Amino acid sequence: MLHWYQVWKHMRNVTGKEIEKRAIMQLVAYSEFQIDTIIRQSLIELDKLNELKRIQGLNTKTRIDEYCIKNAIKTINSNGHSSSPERAGGITPKETEREKHPKENTEVA
Please provide the CATH number assigned to the domain covering 4-80. Answer: 1.10.20
d(CA 68, CA 62): 12
- Domain ranges within the chain, ordered by starting residue: 4-80
pLDDT tens track, the chain, 109 positions: 889 999 999 999 999 999 999 999 999 999 999 999 999 999 999 999 999 999 999 999 999 999 999 999 999 998 755 555 556 555 555 555 555 555 566 666 5
pTM over 0.75: no
